[in-house]
Amino acid sequence: MVTEKQAIAPGYCRLSFKAPHIAGTAYPGQFVMVYMNSGYRHLLPRPFSIFTRNRDKEEVSLLFAVKGQGTELMASAEVGSLWKISGPLGSGFPALPEGSLLVAGGIGLAPLAFLAASIEKPRTLIYGARTASQLICPPGVLDLPNLEVIEVTEDGTRGERGTAADLLLGLLPGPPALFACGPGPMLRAVKTLCLHSGTPAWFSVEEKMACGIGACLGCAVQTPKGYSRVCREGPVFSAEEVFNND
C-alpha cells in the first residue's frame, strides 16, 4: 500500500510503501519490483532501488524519475492505493569502510542514500547533476551524522561547478573505497579514475528486467567471466566487472 507520496520536482516523485518483509530484511543496494496496475498495458514490473527504509513503520520509499508510461502511472498513484511490490532483490553493496566516498549522479542517488544511512562512520557523498533542478533529494534525507555532502552541477547552478568525476580528481587516491550509481558515462569516468588511483569501487548498474529473481537471464551484463545477471549477481558490481568492452 502507498503510505505517502512526495511530488518533488517536475518529473520526479517519491513513494513510500508499507512493506514489512522488505523493510525488515533489505540492505543497501537492493531493489524491489513494482507491479503496474494496468492489465496487459505493462506486462513487466519495474525495478527500483530502495531509497530509504523505516523498520519501525515497516516502510520503504522509492525515489524515481518519470521516464515512460510505467513511472508516469506510479507518479499518479494515490495514497492508500494498493500496489504490489516484491523484494528485497539482488545483491547490495558490501559493508562501507570509514572514510568511504559515495558518488551519486542524478537519480542514482537512490541506492546511495540508503547506503549512507546504513552506518554512522565518517563518509562523504558527492551528489552531482547537470543542473540545480536535478538535485532533487527530498529535504532531511541526507541530514545524517558524520556525512559530508558535496553538491556539484555541470552548470554551476548549485554547489561546485563541474562533473562528479572532476571533483573526484582532487579526492583520489585516499578513500578506502568508493560506491557509485548514476548514468553510464559518469560511471565510466569514475571507473577510469578508480583504476588509476587504485581505489576499490563498486557500482550499482541498470538493465532491463523481467523476472527480477535470476530465472529468465534477461538482465545480463557483460563481465570478464561472461554474462552476469543484474538482478542476482548485481545490481552492485565491482568496477573491474563492468563497463569493459564499450
Partner 1 sequence: MINPGLSVNLGGIELASPLLAASGPFGYGHEYLERIDCSALGGIIVKGISLKPWPGNPPPRLAETASGLLNAIGLQNPGLDHFVKEDLPLLARAEPRLIVNIVGCDIDEYAAVAAGLSGLEGIDGLEVNISCPNLKAGGIAFGTDPAETYKVVGAVRRQTNLPLLVKLSPNVTDITIIARAAEAAGADGLSLINTLSGMLIDIETRKPLLGNIFGGLSGPAVLPVALKMVWQAAEAVKIPLLGMGGITTAEDALQFIMAGARAVAVGTGFFYEPEVISQVKEGLENYLVKHEIKALGKLEGAARKGGIINGAC
Ligand X SMILES: Cc1cc2nc3c(=O)[nH]c(=O)nc-3n(C[C@H](O)[C@H](O)[C@H](O)COP(=O)(O)OP(=O)(O)OC[C@H]3O[C@@H](n4cnc5c(N)ncnc54)[C@H](O)[C@@H]3O)c2cc1C
Ligand Y SMILES: Cc1cc2nc3c(=O)[nH]c(=O)nc-3n(C[C@H](O)[C@H](O)[C@H](O)COP(=O)(O)O)c2cc1C
Residues that bind ligand X (CB under 6 A): 31, 46-49, 62-65, 67-71, 107, 110, 206-209, 230, 235
Choice from 6, 38, 54, 244 touching its own copies (CB under 8 A): 38
Binding mask 183-222 for ligand FES (x = CB under 6 A): --------------------------xxxx-xxxxxx---
Backbone angles phi, psi at 183, to 5 degrees: -65, 155
Closest CA to 243 of 168, 184, 197: 184
Q: Which is nearer to ligand X, 48 or 127 (CB)?
A: 48
CA distance 86 to 31: 9
Provide the edge-to-edge strand list for the sheet that holds 123-129: 160-161, 147-153, 123-129, 101-105, 178-181, 201-204, 236-238
Considering the rule CB under 6 A, would residue 44 count as an interface residue with ligand FES? Answer: no
Choice from 35, 94, 132, 188 touching partner 1 (CB under 8 A): 35
**Smallest distance from the beta carbon of 213 to ligand X, in angstroms?**
12
**Smallest distance from the beta carbon of 97 to partner 1, in angstroms?**
31
Task: Collapse the DSSP code of 132 into the 3-class scheme (helix H, G, I; strand E, B; otherwise coil) and give the result.
Answer: helix
CA distance 106 to 54: 23
The residues binding its own copies (CB under 8 A) are: 38-41, 69
